Each structure stands twice: as C-alpha cells, then as structure tokens.
Amino acid sequence: MRTALVTGAARGIGAATVVRLAELGYAVLAVDVAADDPALPYGLGSSAELAAVAARTGAEVFVADVRDPAALAAAVAVAERRWGGLDVAIAAAGVIAGGVPQWEVPLEQEEAVLDVDLRGVLNLARAAIPALLRRPAPRSGRFLAVASAAATRGLPMLAAYCAAKAGVAGFVRALGAELGGTGVTANAVSPGSTDTPILAESARLYGLPGAAEFAGQQPVGRLLEPDEIARVLAFLADPDSGATTGAVVPVDGGLAL
C-alpha cells in the first residue's frame, strides 16, 4: 500500500486529490489548517469540510498550518508511524489576495500569499523529502506541488500570487535536479481557471459576478473541475511516472497558449 500526505485537503484541488488517491488505494493523511486567516478577507477550508473529506475517503486528518515547519514535520512523523513510511507528498494548500496594484495590497495579505503558496511548499519539502528518502531503494517517492498558469502569465492585481506560483515552478525544477538518482521525483501541475473557492475569490477581487466569467479565457471554453487536476497529480504520484521529474505540467484548458 502506498501512502500520501496532502496539504490543503479540506476543499478544492487538495480535497479532490485526497479523494482520487483514496480511490486508487492509497492511505492518505489529509492536512489542512482548517481555520480562517485573519489577514485574508475570505473564508478558508473549515474543520467540518476536512472531516467530510475524511469521512468520504477514510483518510486520516491532521490539522497544521503549512507556514509552520514544525507542524509539517509532526504530520510527516504521524504518517511514518501510522503506515511505516511515506511515498508521496503533495503541496496543494493555497490562498489568494490582491484586487489592487501590488504596492497597495495590505502587507499582511501579501505575506499570507507568499508564505502559504511558496514557503508552504518549501516547508513541506523540508519535512517530507527526508521521509521519502528513508524508503529503501529502489524508491519511487514523489514530491508534488500545485503551481498555476499564473506562474507564467502576468495577472494584474494578483502580483504576489503570480510571484509565489512562479517560485513554485522554479523550486520543483531545482528539486528535480537535486533528487536525481535517488528514485524520488519532484514535479508540479499548473492549473488554469478551476472551479474552486480561490477562483471565486479571484472573481470578487476583479469585481466580476462569479467564477464562471473566467471560463471564456480558456480554449476549452469552460472552467476546469478540481478532479481533473487531481487525476494528473495521481498520475505523477504513481510509481510508473519515474521518467518525469523537474516538470511543471499544464492542466489549464489551454489558458497558457
């Protein structure tokens, strides 16, 4: 049985990833802060949502803020004690803020975006990769992160979000090189406009009536579903995906074209 740890697991792409991995037979530790952030003007995933994901999938729950390296180290330790090791770590936690030019964004909002969306990925890598490497050779460990089409597109009034996601893309490229020859790979997916609470908040920041307004900017002509992103993450998590590392895979409905 393969084991996985997923952050941002209460809702959106993180929750869909927990569901998909559980369907494939993984034992999953579903990690989320499960609380709102006073710096951000919208609600984050709740403890009730996290519990619902666990009830649906049989995943174990661990409440942790990805900005806290010690909390993530504790989550990894729980997975190792519970299942004897860790095979997959997926950094899906994310937040968004903006709606005004970068120099007008409240500093605490900018810090939340950078700390969760970028530093949270680095924190998970620091905690999880040693566990992935503790598996005996030949290994098939997988470190995965959720970047965004915003990593390559300059989105006005979302400058910190773009910067964080570009940082995630650069990080997994370097990490893939650092892990060469270990049997552990590092990759990211780069979603387009996906029907999640973050996209709903993006619509609000842009003064749009709803997330559906973003559908027309993608050649597929619709919003993506979180499960569509989760399926690509599940492919990259598979032992048979070992030929792919240091990659940022677009799952964006053609948005980056």
Q: Could you give the strand order of the β-sheet that contains 88-91, starting from the edge strand earlier in sequence?
A: 60-63, 27-32, 3-7, 88-91, 142-146, 185-191, 247-251
Nearest to residue 205, comparing CAs of 252, 239, 156? Answer: 156
Q: Give the N- to C-terminal CA distance of the chain in Å, as an integer.
A: 38
Q: How confident is the model at residue 156 (pLDDT cuts 50, 70, 90)?
A: very high
- C-alpha distances in angstroms, 137 versus 42, 43, 48, 87? 45, 43, 39, 12
CB atoms within 10 A of CB 106: 13
- Is 42 catalytic? The answer is no
Residue 88, both tokens: 């997959």
Cα angle 250-150-199, degrees, rounded to a multiple of 5? 95
Name the pairing type of β-strands 3-7 and 88-91: parallel
What's the average model confidence in pLDDT over 119-133? 98
Residue 256 has what pLDDT? 85
Instruction: Report the percentage of the chain scoring pLDDT > 70.
Output: 100
Looking at the predicted structure, is the pLDDT value of residue 162 above 90? yes
Residue 160, both tokens: 């910190």
Beta strands in 20-67 (DSSP E): 27-32, 60-63
Q: How confident is the model at residue 257 (pLDDT cuts 50, 70, 90)?
A: confident
Class of domain 3-251 (CATH, top level): alpha beta
d(CA 216, CA 158): 19
d(CA 213, CA 200): 10
Q: Do residues 44 and 37 make contact, with C-beta atoms less than 8 angstroms apart?
A: yes
d(CA 27, CA 178): 27
* Bridge partners, 28 (sequence order): 4
Q: Which of 26, 42, 161, 206 is catalytic?
A: 161
d(CA 206, CA 202): 6
- C-alpha distances in angstroms, 205 versus 60, 111, 159, 189? 34, 17, 13, 24
Residue 81, both tokens: 């004690």
Instruction: Report the percentage of the chain scoring pLDDT > 90.
Output: 99
Cα angle 158-163-166, degrees, rounded to a multiple of 5? 125
What's the average model confidence in pLDDT over 46-64? 98
